[in-house]
Chains A and B, each alone.
Chain A
């Protein structure tokens, strides 16, 4: 199994690069684009929520901030549609990240349960500000972004697809890097027993805030790219209360805290969501089905797909051998090594 991994990953990478060329239909590439966006957002959210165990449900705020940053930059600097605006995306991400620093600091001072609610409340603050700060955001009228007019209908999705893929790959790489670093170990320790971790010297406050800001950065970029794709922006749309629930669900479905879980969740849920939107464009049905799906996933797969799968696989491999540590305290320990001097001062 291990041997296949790098080959498998490269194959996946090549497949995703080749995808739009193989399936150029705009309907399909649009769905693929959104899937990549959500996969990137879910991966970013996972860096914070999956690794630290703190569930933030207000990240849509940073999507919105990224979106508006993008729109405002394009407007103020008079940018035309085309490739140039793509360069602004990381900048929009930085804006979102900067805003997330004080917000995250405040929110993380509260208890884990209160934290969730505080992030939700903060989200609404930003949504309201988008409505109210008319000078900046044009209020409920909204803003428009430059339109790349010289891209043909068939071509249009391609650059967006690849930029989304790029963002996903960077976020994924970052997530992987964190997971394999001392920093990531600290985060996971915080998830399991924050107080104990702090007592052992882990700088829990800094660590949590850093993860929060990193995730806000990527999510801000997703917002910026999304806004540019749709070409228009208004407060209720940029600041979408459903967003956090959707990416949380994707992470839970795939496996919170795993590397590929969020992506798996996005691949399953996003096309489904798009399908439902097309089929049941009438709001009522869409919400009911969506909510019901949500409930089903949470009630029946509370751990997510990947962890459940890996547990199942592990059980099958070890069936027949006694699990270590399963029985009582009979000393299943080795005799102490005669040379124990190196152990302590």
Chain B
């Protein structure tokens, strides 16, 4: 049994079967890629795995525990973070404030002071420095460029110390320099033990970064293996180039 897996997940929207018995698995500590043509169900799978959608059938397990149909905050609390295709940051809050939203304090302490511990403040700054946008910390997040917002989203996920991070098209709409910068950051984190599941269209990005790649088409998995194996798999080529 793997660290994070989906087993036979089915999900339909009206007449559209977005996920049709989809099963994938992610090993602990791995860098797994998920590719597939548009409409293959990748984002729906992500949504299902992180609580943004419910399943019609099948389950999702994290370290053995079923997590399908949980709410997004519950999934997040278990240690699974995710980013979105269209970056979601809190635009009217500053970059630093964005970092602190993800670390919620409950009870009386929430009323006193923005950062209840200097440890949190330190950590936020460390992370901003890690992704390289520390200089922008007091700017409203809405003022950041697209790439910088992506970095911010990445950073505020990290502040909760997730065990698994699901990245939804991290390289989308980003220039080549930034892309290699991003892969470096991701690789560093992976070395430190964070598991990654990455959905991407950018083949170079996925193939160079991931040690295992899964391919989806029409709501189910059609290929699985190392980047080289997948690259040469006729079924995969068919899916991308076929009708």
Which A residues have a C-beta under 8 Å from some C-beta of B?
177, 180-183, 185-186, 188-189, 191-193, 195-203, 323-337, 340-345
Binary flags per residue of B154-197, CB closer than 8 Å to A gives 1, else 0: 00101011000000000000110110010011001100111000
7 contacts between A and B (CB under 8 A): A185-B100, A188-B93, A189-B93, A192-B90, A336-B184, A344-B161, A344-B193
B184 neighbours in A (Cβ, 8 Å): 336
Contact B143–A325 (Cβ < 8 Å): yes
Number of A-B contacts (CB under 8 A): 151
Interface SS, A side: loop
Contact B88–A196 (Cβ < 8 Å): yes
Closest to A188 in B: B93
B191 to chain A, nearest CB (A): 10
Q: A198-B73, A325-B145, A343-B189 are in contact. Are A189 and B133 (CB under 8 A)?
A: no
A156 to chain B, nearest CB (A): 39
Contact B73–A182 (Cβ < 8 Å): no
B116 neighbours in A (Cβ, 8 Å): 182
Contact A181–B112 (Cβ < 8 Å): yes
A155 to chain B, nearest CB (A): 40
A323 neighbours in B (Cβ, 8 Å): 143
B38 to chain A, nearest CB (A): 23
Contact A200–B101 (Cβ < 8 Å): yes
The yes or no answer to B240 lying at the interface (CB within 8 A) is: no
The 9 closest A-B pairs by CB, nearest first: A333-B132, A329-B147, A199-B72, A192-B90, A182-B110, A189-B101, A325-B144, A329-B175, A200-B102
B76: contacting residue among A182, A183, A200, A329, CB under 8 A:
A200
A180 neighbours in B (Cβ, 8 Å): 113-114
Contact B130–A343 (Cβ < 8 Å): yes
Name the interface residues of B20-47: CB closer than 8 Å to any CB of A.
none
Contact B126–A342 (Cβ < 8 Å): yes
Binary flags per residue of B60-99, CB closer than 8 Å to A gives 1, else 0: 0000000000011100110000000000111111000100
The yes or no answer to B139 lying at the interface (CB within 8 A) is: yes
A336 neighbours in B (Cβ, 8 Å): 129-130, 132, 184-185, 188
Closest to A342 in B: B126
B76 neighbours in A (Cβ, 8 Å): 199-201
Whole-angstrom CA separation of A186 from B105 in the bound complex: 10
